[in-house]
Amino acid sequence: MVLEDHFIFGFARSGVYNKSYSYPSVLDSTDRSVIGRDDSGSTVMGNSFGNPFSYPDFMNRSTKGLLSGDIEIIPNGSELIQRPARFLKVIEEELWKTGFSRLIYVQGISDPYILPALIYSGVSFIDDSFARMESEGRIKYTIFGRKKVDYDPLEENLEFLRSVAEQCADAIKSGTLRDIVEKFQVSSKAIELLRIMDFNYYDEFEKVFPSRTDRIRANSIESLMRPDLVRYRDQLVRDFVSPAGKIALLIPCSARKPYSESRSHMKLLTHIGEFRKFLHEIIVTSPVGLVPRELEEGYPARYYDIPVIGHWYEDEKTMMAGLISRYFGKNSYPGIIAFVPEDLEFIEHSLPAGTEFIRGEISSSGDLEILREKIGSMVASLKEKGVLVPGTRMKAIASIASFQFGSWIVPRMENLKRVVNYDFDLLTENGKVMLVYNPSNGKITLNRNAAPWFVAEGKRLVEIDDFKPTANIYAMGVLNATSDIRQEDEVVIVHRGEIRGVGIAKMPYEAMINLKKGIAVKVRN
């Protein structure tokens, strides 16, 4: 049997099994060449399973699914899904703990309204048996939910079900599957599945969720718990090295990204421009959290869309209050000023004692004048104490590097020189380019010259067999990978300590190790 992944998004995968069966997809339960049964047992997509339809008791205890080759069947899905927490516990035991070594077929579930959530959890195959049963009851599927009709809507229902699977397959390819799961909220059970995955299984999903996606369309409160956004907030507190000797200035976000190019922020920066070298500007926004100005050009700050209504939900307030407390618990500033509109007044109680709290609107020139005067007064006072340190572009890029790679990299950048090449910042050492910062995506890329740093630290390493990498490294050539690698991360390619190149991870680290097909790393040099 041949398992061939084409694209991966978290635990969700699209590809072709045994050269015949695309996944994710819906199996035809009436096609005996796909699902066959006789007295000796059953076959599914060419795999013999004995009798998988004996319905093991998943409901009350852990029971292994039925495994044959690369396929595992979880029977009795229609009953098991009635208890989503129990269902996901089975998926955890049968899939998430075993990495990417198999495809999961959940038998008996064909509800189109929970299918995106199932695929997001890692389910590759369902069958159409339940949809056939509902069609006999004259129940038709629509984009708004089920409705009763006076005819048999079987063909329409099967087409609807398959179209959902196809859209999910396209979303895996484009990196937008999470957006579809959040949007497709016809079924409360689908929302329950997503929330359980977010809250109870965050660690499992974080390690496979890409470090960057094309876009974040935050259309529901569930976006707060996207693994990449929770990861961002954790990295901000854990890894980001804030500039020393600056005044923290908290300000509201803008609809336009990056914020500094918006009309409101340009107006604000015009008023405070003379003091900016002494300020560390931090944007307050949902669902991302806090965005230091250094990170506004990167992911996720530049890549999210959210309806702006001037109202914060309680979950958003809780997230923001907790993040502010964590951030300022780790980072100290000689002074802090918060300039916020009425809808952000709730953050006042989370800020450190002594914070200068100003209620005002960026649209008000009078309020901005008050802000400028407060900043000027604080700058003058702190200058006398000799605690202010003017910022530089190089320091800003070092802070970006600390967020992207970890605080360990900052000391290694102390002797680097910055060279501007068109729109890029080249960071060099003894004339050799080590790192390149690209403002258009807010990302630092590795040059091979910097690879020894990562080898010495044991960070972002992909161990390959003994060959010379070209354009792509396929999973079958990967021997090992460090657990800090996420899909779309910068990585260093090595063989027994010898540096063979650098590139971008196209799979989670576990997939690189366990799979035999698919592109693991896109090689740069």
The Cα–Cα gap between 110 and 26 comes to: 8
CB contact burial 106-136 (16+ within 10 A = b; e otherwise):
bbbbbbbbbbbbbbbbbbbbbbbbbbbebbe
pLDDT in tens, 215-266: 999 888 899 999 999 999 999 999 999 999 999 999 999 999 999 999 999 9
Contacts 24+ apart (CB under 8 A), 457-462: 457/408, 458/482, 459/405, 459/406, 459/408, 459/484, 460/405, 460/484, 460/485, 460/489, 460/490, 460/491, 460/492, 461/491, 461/492, 461/494, 462/491, 462/492, 462/493, 462/494, 462/505, 462/512, 462/520, 462/521
Look at residue 69 and tell me whether its pLDDT is greater than 80.
no
> CA neighbours within 13 Å on the CB side: how many for 124?
28
pLDDT in tens, 164-193: 999 999 999 999 999 999 998 889 999 999
% of the chain beyond a pLDDT of 70: 96
Lowest-pLDDT range of 1-5, 22-26, 298-302: 1-5
Q: What pLDDT, on the 0 to 100 scale, is given for residue 307?
A: 73
Where do the domains of the chain lie, and which CATH numbers do they carry?
Answer: 3-206 (no CATH), 224-385 (3.40.50.10630), 406-523 (2.30.130.10)
pLDDT in tens, 365-409: 999 999 999 999 999 999 999 999 999 999 999 999 999 999 999
pLDDT in tens, 468-521: 999 999 999 999 999 999 999 999 999 999 999 999 999 999 999 999 889 999
Q: Give the three-class secondary structure for 525.
A: coil
The Cα–Cα gap between 481 and 459 comes to: 10
Q: What pLDDT, on the 0 to 100 scale, is given for residue 308?
A: 67
φ, ψ at 469 (rounded to 5°): -65, 145
Q: What pLDDT, on the 0 to 100 scale, is given for residue 70?
A: 86
Q: With a threshold of 0.75, does the pTM exceed it?
A: yes
Q: What pLDDT, on the 0 to 100 scale, is given for residue 58?
A: 43
Question: From the CB of residue 195, how many other CB atoms can be counted at a distance below 10 Å?
Answer: 14
Look at residue 90 and tell me whether its pLDDT is greater than 50.
yes
Compare 37 and 362 and report the one with higher pLDDT: 362
Q: What pLDDT, on the 0 to 100 scale, is given for residue 220?
A: 85
Mean pLDDT of 414-435: 95
Look at residue 67 and tell me whether its pLDDT is greater than 90.
no
CB contact burial 53-86 (16+ within 10 A = b; e otherwise):
beebebeeeebebbbbbbbbbbbbbbebbeebee
pLDDT in tens, 28-65: 999 988 888 776 677 888 888 776 555 444 445 445 67
Q: What pLDDT, on the 0 to 100 scale, is given for residue 523?
A: 97
